[in-house]
Structure 1
Amino acid sequence: MKRVLITAGASGLGRAMAEHFDAAGFDVWVTDVDAAALRTCPENWTCFEANAADEQAMAGVFGELDRLDVLCANAGIAGPTALVEDVALDDWRACVSVNLEGAFLAAKYAAPLMKQAHSGAMILTSSTAGLFGYPNRAPYAAAKWAVIGLMKTLAMELGPFGIRANAICPGSVEGPRMEGVLAREAAAKGMTRDQVYNGYAAGTSMRSFVEARDVAEMAVFLGSDAARMVSGQLIAVDGHTENPDPKVGH
């Protein structure tokens, strides 16, 4: 049975990934900072309460592993919604820490395990914010761009060991986290929540948000043998997001 480790896997997008990998027959391991969410995970999952940006905590989790086939470095936070001159440095650092350093630490500790097996797949969660500039989201966009640079480097470094690395760039995903973003952006721009929502949806060819399952299914594909020659790629699961226009709510 293949094993997958998913950071921030107890809720939201990570939970959907974990459920889909479970359905695909994987041995599922998850980390999360939310102890309550971890308690709702199925009994057959191996769960750890750990902050993805805490090196000591992540080293402890990986120290429990004797092998790893797939890593989903998924932990992330939305960060502040504000003009760049209004972003506090502490808020910038917190956003970059979880989104970028969390992915780095997961890859750092997964690499030796995968090298031992001369195989493996790393899947980093970026965002369409890693493809375009996003007004009022400077820390998040900067971190998600950096995740793509990390992924490209991992693919080059680890490819000779039979290890693949790819990044998924979700668009706006239905759920509580995006609702928080919509509320903050509406307040910052003097708009209603629905105006901001419609602006995001209008910026896609499909005129729709995506669902967590859409991203989870892509993660399972990238972790499977069917994607054995797919590496170094950034794959948007977003209904084709166009370059965001601040006039329509992005």
Structure 2
Amino acid sequence: MTPSLSLSGRRAIVSAATSGIGRVIAETLAEAGAQVEVCGVDQLKVAELRQRHPAIGAMCCDLADANDTERFFAAAVERLGGIDILINNAGIAGPIEPAESMTLEAWNRTLAVNLTSHFVLARLAAPLMRQAGGGAIVNISSTAGLVGNARRSPYNASKWGVIGLAKSLAKELGPSKIRVNVICPGWVEGDRLERVIAGEAAQTGVDREEIRARFMANSSMGIGVLPNDIAAMALFLVSDAGERMSGHTFTVDADAV
């Protein structure tokens, strides 16, 4: 029998999902039948998502603030009536500069969004999933969580941390039938990649197109990936098709690492 990708009757929370990868994941889960609640930091993007997808609940939240994160979670769970799926998608690029010139404030904010928000939401979701008889958590890391990159120390450190957090949670929560996995996207086409390229160009004085070519040269296919590629993997992992997957890291990067 072919495992089902249907999420009918399931309740999902996706963090930082009013644009980019998170938004496509939220849309994909909703199309598969899940009730979905998301958050974003930009009020205009939250309003636009509400208008375009009335069935997806959206609210503003600063995921660097643990209290605001808890407020969002409580409101989302109240509307959903529980939670079966958590996608920890939050992540910012952070500063692009040598560690020795970086401010502690920039370091702390990057880790607060990219790592601590994942911990806070998973900590809140776990007991509710246990009461429901199980669930699935997917942390979105990056191929930067598998390698080192100059001038990206807080970003890389946070993305390595996301993997370690997920693997530890998988061991803790597995007995409660809560599965925890990680997706490591490569270079994902979109506004965020363009900002990273612009930052690298500004730091190094190298032309943007040359920076882009260097990034893509790491892929054996010579390409980046699309948000849909990440969403497809997330859907697999939280559906019945991935019911025996836990504690794993899945790289979606067109063979770049």
Matches of residues 32-43 of structure 1 in structure 2 within 5 Å? 32-41=40-49, 42-43=53-54
**Equivalent position to 2:71, from 47, 60, 79:** 60
Is contact 1:7–1:75 with CA below 8 Å preserved after alignment? yes
The answer to whether the aligner puts 1:194 opposite 2:209 as a matched pair is: yes
Q: Using the TM superposition, give the Cα deviation of residue 185 of structure 1 relative to its aligned residue in structure 2, in angstroms.
A: 0.3
d(CA) in 2 for partners of 1:124 and 1:182? 24
- What is the CA distance between 1:69 and its match in structure 2? 1.0
Deviation at 1:117, TM superposition (A): 1.1
SS at match of 1:68: coil
Find 1:70's aligned residue among 67, 81, 85.
85
More moved, 195-204 vs 45-54: 45-54
User: Quick check: 2:163–2:182 contact (8 Å CA) kept in 1?
Assistant: yes
The separation in 2 between residues aligned to 1:101 and 1:38, in whole angstroms, is 22
Unaligned runs of 5+ in 2: 1-8
Alignment partner of 1:31: what SS? strand
Name 1:178's counterpart in structure 2.
193
Q: What is the RMSD computed on CA atoms of the aligned residues?
A: 1.0
State the match for 1:96 in structure 2. Answer: 111
Q: How does 1:1-250 map to 2 (within 5 A)?
A: 1-41=9-49, 42-64=53-75, 65=77, 66-242=81-257
Matched residue type, 2:31: A
1:81 partner letter: I
For normalisation by structure 2, the TM-score amounts to: 0.92
Dislocated runs of 4+, deviation >3 Å: none
Displacement of 1:63 after TM fit? 2.2
Task: Mark the runs of 5 or more structure 1 residues left unpaired by the alignment.
Answer: 243-250
Q: How many residue pairs align between the two structures?
A: 242
Q: What amino acid sits opposite 1:102 in the alignment?
A: S
CA drift at 1:51 = 1.6
DSSP 3-state at the match of 1:199: helix
Deviation at 1:118, TM superposition (A): 1.9
TM-score with structure 1 setting the length: 0.94
The one-letter code matched in structure 2 to 1:188 is Q
